[in-house]
Every structure is written in C-alpha cells, then in structure tokens.
Amino acid sequence: MYKNISILQSIDTLSGESIKIFPNEIISSKVLPVVTRLKQFKKVNINLLDYNSIVFKRDYALGDVVMLYPIVSYLRKLGKKVTINTSRNYFIDKVDFFNQDISNYLNKFDCILNLNGVLERDHSEPSLFDVHRLDIYLEYLNLSLDDINWKLPLTFSENENKKYVGFQARGSTFFKGFRNNNVLLNLLETNKILLIDKNTPNFKHPNLTHKQLKLSELLQQMSNLKGLICFDSGLFWLSHVVNIPAFVIVGPTSGIKITKYHPNNKTIFYDTKEDIGCKTCGESGIRCNRSFKCMINFNEDRLINNIKKWIETL
C-alpha cells in the first residue's frame, strides 16, 4: 500500500512498537495524543511547501481549529489546496476549506496530517506553558508565516450603533467560568449584555439578551459587539476572526501568551492568579492538585472594576 511513498517519521513507542507515519495515512485519534507525548516524538520532518494539496485533521476544540485559519490563509496564498477536516460543529457556512468526509481524501490529497494531540502538549510540557498554540502548530509543521491573517472569506453586515458587550459566563471546562452570576449582574446595572454561551441564566433583566447560535450566525452577532468578556476559550479565538476587542480572563493559562497575535489593540487580559500568588500551569493544575483555586479565590471586586474601566475605553 505504501510503496514509493516516503515515511514522514517513525516513532518507537514505550512498548517497543514502531509507528510509521506516512503522507496519506490517517493516524488513529486515540493513538496520536499518546504518541505526541512520547519523548521520541519530533515535529513533522517534511517541507510542507513541497505538497500542493494538504488536509489538516483536527476533530475537537474550536479554538484549536480557529488557530489553523492563519496557516490555511498563508498556504492558500501560495496556491496550495488546503482543507480542514473537523467535526460538523466547527464548520462555518460558506467557508470552502471545511470538509467532513475524510474517506474521499486518500487519493486526492498529497499530504494528510492528523493534528489531534499536537497542541495538548502545552498541558504537560512546562517549556510550552508560555508558548502560543499557533507557534506550536508552526513549529510542528516547519512553517513560518509572513502574515498572521485570522479573517475568513465571509462578509458581515455592520451595525454602526454597537450597543452590546458580549459576555461568556462559562466555557468548556469548570475552571473557565464563574460559579455565580455576581459579575454578570453587576455589569447589567450599566451595560447592555449579550450572553453568548450555552447556559441560560435563571433570571431575566431588561439589559440582558441570550443567544445560542450556530457558528456562522454567532460570528455575525459578534462582529457587531462593542467588545467581548470571555475566558481562554473558543469564543475568545473567534474574537480574532471578527477583530473585536476582548477582555479575556485567564486563570491557569498565560495572558501574555494567548493575546500575542490578537489583531485588536484594545484586547487585554486579566490574570486571576495575581490574587493567590500562583503561576501559569498550562491547565495542568500541578500546583493545586487540579483544584484551580485561581478561578475560585480571585478578587471579584477587582475583576468587576477592571472590566468596567475597560468598557469605558470601547
């Protein structure tokens, strides 16, 4: 099957088994996250620019899919045919570089790279705690971008009268969210808030609107926000795409790291670790036995005051 096809890399697992990765071989999603954590694991030892048609397979984590956008944009600018294979939840309508049925790719693309597990190394390797995930992708793929372009080939209708501030109460994990509605209720006293996470609040307020939208509709809504208050989550990475200011709350992650490539100069981060004197742990929870006290014992008043000051600048 693999005659005349060069091996990209060969890795000896801890059990002694040799795993060979070929240009057109799809590595099991269950295997690759394990493989990338092995000491023998190295970045892809090819020149990606030698290939004319490329598939990036990334099955989960919206933010990690979004971080492929600048890479796709760069490669397409060079005339490459590039597709992202991901779950249907992360498709954006009318964007032609998404495809779900990978079974048709084997004979149509020169190179298929399964990226599941690649970025997760920054949870376990301290040397990567402060490294932007886009940089991890680039190092893995042996690429260097001359331009960081987050834009999608979409057009959004603009509303000049931007009244609402977006608000995320909870993200994908328990340490990316608030345990009560105190922050939201305080901000509602003087601001119109669009709540754009999956959780419907257990109260109603004249200044509160709640939306659950598919991604294409969500991006349209976000493009007309004054700004976005969120955590280090997929919603934050979508703010890169529509270039709106973000106030991103970081606990176990690094604010300097994640805001590095944000295109909007009003985007700032708020570090809850300052209240407990902790350090970035890459979401590993190595210093607190995964209790993530940085998202429990932070100073709520300080956070609210900082958000209000930031909103005044918008």
- For the chain, the structural domain boundaries read 9-141, 164-312
**pLDDT tens, residue order, the chain (314 aa):** 333 344 445 544 445 555 555 443 444 544 554 445 444 445 555 678 888 888 888 888 999 999 999 999 999 999 999 989 888 889 998 898 987 666 665 567 777 777 877 888 788 888 889 999 999 999 888 899 999 999 999 988 888 789 999 999 988 888 888 889 999 999 999 999 999 988 888 889 999 999 888 898 999 999 999 999 999 999 999 999 999 999 999 999 999 999 999 999 999 999 999 999 999 998 988 889 989 999 999 999 999 999 999 999 99
Distance between CA atoms of residues 232 and 61, nearest Å: 12
What confidence score (pLDDT) does residue 3 get? 35
Q: Closest Cα to residue 102, out of 94, 113, 92, 93? A: 113
Q: Is-contact 294 284, C-beta < 8 A?
A: no
Angstrom distance (rounded) from CA 156 to CA 196: 18
* Residue of 143, 178, 138 lying closest to 260 (CA atoms): 138
The CATH class of the 164-312 domain is alpha beta
Identify the pLDDT of residue 105: 59
